[in-house]
Amino acid sequence: MRPAETAKRIRDALARTRPQNMGSNALAVGSQGVSGGTGMLLANPHFPWQGKNRMWQSQLTIPGKLNVSGAGLLGLPAVNIGHNDDVAWSHTVATVAPFGLFDVQVDPLNPTMYLVDGAWERMTSQRVDVDVRNPDGSLGKVSRTLWSTRYGPVTTSIVGVQLPWAVSAHVVRDPNRDNLRALNTWFGLDRAKDVHDVVNVLETTQGVPFFNTIASDRRGDALYADIQAVPNITDEHAASCLTETGKLLFDQALPLPNVPPVSILDGKRSACDWPDDPNAAAPGLLDPHRQPRLIRSDFVGNANDSPWLANPEQPLSYPRVMGDTAAPRSLRTQELILTARNRIDGTDGLPGRGFTPETMGRLLFADNSRAADLTLDATVTACRSVAFGLVLVDGNLVDIREACPVLAAWKSHDFTLDSRGSWLFANYWAYLAGGQKPEKLPWKVPFDPKDPVHTPNSLDSGSSAVRDALARAVLALRRAGVPLNAALSEVQKVTRGGEQIPIHGSLGELGVLNVITPGQVDGRFDITFGSSFVQQVRFTADGPPEAYSVMAYSQSADPSSPHHADQTRLFSAGGWVTERYTEEQIAASPALRTKVLD
């Protein structure tokens, strides 16, 4: 396979898989953006709603040493996202490639021998036996031999793209393979006193695996930092060592914004290994001082795009390995930036200026769609302009006239429970986008790096792609027996112990901050992914932090527990739990139960 073809297949596969697996929004607001306080944080991580890979709420207290409240992943004895007395923080998935590849030349007659600096080296092998269940229910054993080089283990595929082991082999190096520093990072964050402490913890431990960190503190500072375990591939090292295929992947010769910059380095030269840096916490990691960070008094945020526009007033630059710059932002990133700007300026229709817990909660659960803001009017125009309302698509003649007034009446552009037209629009958008990035749609005004928050825009209502996507959506809903004007509450629900609870929010691809992804669970239509532990924290000059949270899928996975669906109902209603953080607040709870462990 030619390098250009291989690179395109890998990049396309990464582009397809990233939206399915990545998520989270976080917004930190400084003193200039908070009303009645010094700093605020909105933590909105997106996680699976089913299975064990969820977040669980906890508070850890060691009198005089530690008091931290928030949530963490199962099995980790630390709070991963939360707050202490003085700092609140969250994480979002970053655009760093969490691995790197090396292309090593092998002996075709003895492919476990590979060439480095003109000398042949022998690969090491490890036999792995795994017990498996056979189709008849009996136990069997599957054996594999794994081969490794000085750089790492051999792989014959990446994201489903085959990498033949013939005249060369591809090997993987993972910066987090030996990363036992993550707990040190989170214990450090749990005890931080301000955002400068947060930066120091991130730099000295480099334990965060492929996450951004967004934080605010009592002093009124807001921090964005992408300081983590990153391969030490500076732009200079990349220019010297990337293979032909690696250049096409890493340098974005085939541009797909926010696809991680995967590197393929020349393994024939030992000098192309990731260099050790004296400032890094471990061998082969990028100097943390070269990794992007930004502290401001208005706001910073991230919605899974690269660090470039943590705040559009101060675009960031950084080594290419950290992500792209001057590239289109996702609709969710645009929505986050506009939400922050408009609230701080007081131009969003809500009273006053600056964030309060009430306005921050209302804006997240407003479930506004940036995609609808940009395209709904043009879509209605396209619908009304179709002769006789009939569209021939995929061999079907579809009458779309009923859709026009439904979409025209959806003036709120939101995915709240009582919204009508939103479900039709979501289906239409899925067909229009077809899995491609929004900048590929038929816009009249293309992306402009000088105005990345507002471009591209102006959907071409005369495009056949718009008409055909609408017809396909109408046809799909009719075949499913769903009215075109169905309320969101009638179609988007989660099942908890036999109870169906309607859920507001929608797909991140629609530019909705409160991400909710429906799908199939055990043969039924359900919620599979989205907002999980949602927390907002406000600091004042003195006194305890003011915190509100909701665990969207509820705390307990046990259907018999009273906490299996209680917070899901609260989330459905747009409500929040007022946190009890101090000893006095906890002692005042009428539901307090104390259990002393032996």
Task: Quote the CA–CA distance of 500 and 371 in Å, as a whole number.
Answer: 28
Tell me, what's the pLDDT at 254?
A: 44
Which residue intervals of the chain bear CATH 3.60.20.10? Answer: 17-96+177-260+269-326
Count CB atoms within 10 A of the CB of residue 101: 25
CB 361 within 8 A of CB 548: yes
Q: Quick one: tokens of 199?
A: 């930066």
Residue 128 CA: distances (Å) to CA of 31, 145, 147, 250: 56, 6, 11, 33
For the segment 220-233, what is each residue's pLDDT rounded down to a tens digit? 999 999 999 999 99
Which residue intervals of the chain bear CATH 2.30.120.10? Answer: 100-173
CB 293 within 8 A of CB 224: yes
Task: Quote the CA–CA distance of 256 and 254 in Å, as a whole number.
Answer: 6
Q: Provide DSSP, 200-217.
A: HHHHHH----SEEEEEEE
CB 90 within 8 A of CB 547: no
Question: Which residues, including other chains, have CB under 8 Å from residue 89's CB and lie 6 or more apart?
Answer: 41, 43, 81, 82, 83, 189, 192, 198, 213, 214, 215, 216
Tell me, what's the pLDDT at 2?
A: 87
Task: Quote the CA–CA distance of 44 and 267 in Å, as a whole number.
Answer: 41
Q: Quick one: tokens of 564?
A: 């299996």
CB 590 within 8 A of CB 579: no
Tell me, what's the pLDDT at 252?
A: 64
Task: Quote the CA–CA distance of 156 and 233 in Å, as a whole number.
Answer: 23
CATH number of 368-508: 1.10.1400.10
With tokens 């307090």, the residue in question is 592
Q: Quick one: tokens of 436?
A: 């491609």
With tokens 């991963």, the residue in question is 80
Pairing of strands 264-266, 100-107: parallel
Q: Quick one: tokens of 345?
A: 């300026």
Instruction: State yes or no: is 458 an active-site residue.
Output: no
CB 184 within 8 A of CB 194: no
The DSSP 8-state label assigned to residue 338 in this structure reads H
Task: Quote the CA–CA distance of 247 and 403 in Å, as a whole number.
Answer: 47
Which residue intervals of the chain bear CATH 1.10.1400.10? Answer: 368-508
Task: Quote the CA–CA distance of 594 and 514 in Å, as a whole number.
Answer: 35
Q: Quick one: tokens of 221?
A: 């500072």
CB 278 within 8 A of CB 1: no
For the segment 388-429, what is each residue's pLDDT rounded down to a tens digit? 999 999 999 999 999 999 999 999 999 999 999 999 999 999
How big is the CA angle at 298 (ends 294 and 531), to the nearest 5 degrees? 80
Task: Quote the CA–CA distance of 407 and 379 in Å, as a whole number.
Answer: 8
Rg (CA), the chain: 25
The set of long-range contacts for 433-440, using a CB threshold of 8 Å and a minimum separation of 24, is 433/509, 435/16, 437/15, 437/256, 437/257, 437/328, 438/328, 438/330, 438/331, 438/371, 438/509, 439/257, 439/328
Catalytic residue among 24, 31, 531, 554: 24
CB 502 within 8 A of CB 573: no
Q: Provide DSSP, 387-434.
A: GGGEEEETTEEEE-TTHHHHHHH-TT-B--TT-BSHHHHHHHHHHHHT
Hey, which residues does 295 pair with through a beta bridge? 223
Tell me, what's the pLDDT at 256?
A: 59
CB 130 within 8 A of CB 146: no
With tokens 């929505």, the residue in question is 335
Task: Quote the CA–CA distance of 559 and 497 in Å, as a whole number.
Answer: 5
Q: What are the two backbone dihedrals, phi and then psi, of residue 521, each rounded to the nearest 5 degrees? A: -135, 115
Element (DSSP H or E) covering residue 488? helix 488-491
Tens of pLDDT along the chain (598 residues)? 788 899 989 988 887 776 555 679 999 999 999 999 899 999 999 999 998 889 999 999 999 999 999 999 988 899 999 999 999 999 999 999 889 999 999 999 999 999 999 999 999 999 999 999 999 999 999 999 999 999 999 999 999 999 999 999 999 999 999 999 999 999 999 999 999 999 999 999 999 999 999 999 999 999 999 999 999 999 999 999 999 999 999 986 545 556 789 999 999 999 999 999 999 999 999 999 999 999 999 999 999 999 999 999 999 999 999 999 999 999 999 999 999 999 999 999 999 999 999 999 999 999 999 999 999 999 999 999 999 999 999 999 999 999 999 999 999 999 999 999 999 999 999 999 987 778 889 999 999 999 999 999 999 999 999 999 999 999 999 999 999 999 999 999 999 989 999 999 999 999 999 999 999 998 999 999 999 999 999 999 999 999 999 999 999 999 999 999 999 999 999 999 999 999 999 999 999 999 998 8
Question: Which residues, including other chains, have CB under 8 Å from residue 405's CB and lie 6 or more apart?
Answer: none
Question: Which residues, including other chains, have CB under 8 Å from residue 573's CB and lie 6 or more apart?
Answer: none
- Report CA 322 to chain centroid distance, whole Å: 15
DSSP helix/strand/coil, 569: helix
Q: Quick one: tokens of 88?
A: 């609140």
Give the HSE-up count for residue 398: Cα atoms under 13 Å, Cβ half-sphere. 23
* Number of DSSP helices (H) and strands (E) in the chain, helices first: 14, 32
Q: Which CATH number fits domain 100-173: 2.40.50.140, 2.30.30.90, 2.30.120.10, 3.50.50.60?
A: 2.30.120.10
Task: Quote the CA–CA distance of 239 and 272 in Å, as a whole number.
Answer: 10
Residue 209 CA: distances (Å) to CA of 222, 275, 472: 22, 19, 41
Q: Which CATH number fits domain 17-96+177-260+269-326: 3.60.20.10, 3.40.50.10440, 3.40.640.10, 3.40.50.800?
A: 3.60.20.10
Count CB atoms within 10 A of the CB of residue 126: 10
Q: What are the two backbone dihedrals, phi and then psi, of residue 167, each rounded to the nearest 5 degrees? A: -80, -15
The DSSP 8-state label assigned to residue 215 in this structure reads E
How big is the CA angle at 198 (ends 194 and 204), to the nearest 5 degrees? 140
CB 30 within 8 A of CB 217: no
Tell me, what's the pLDDT at 18?
A: 67
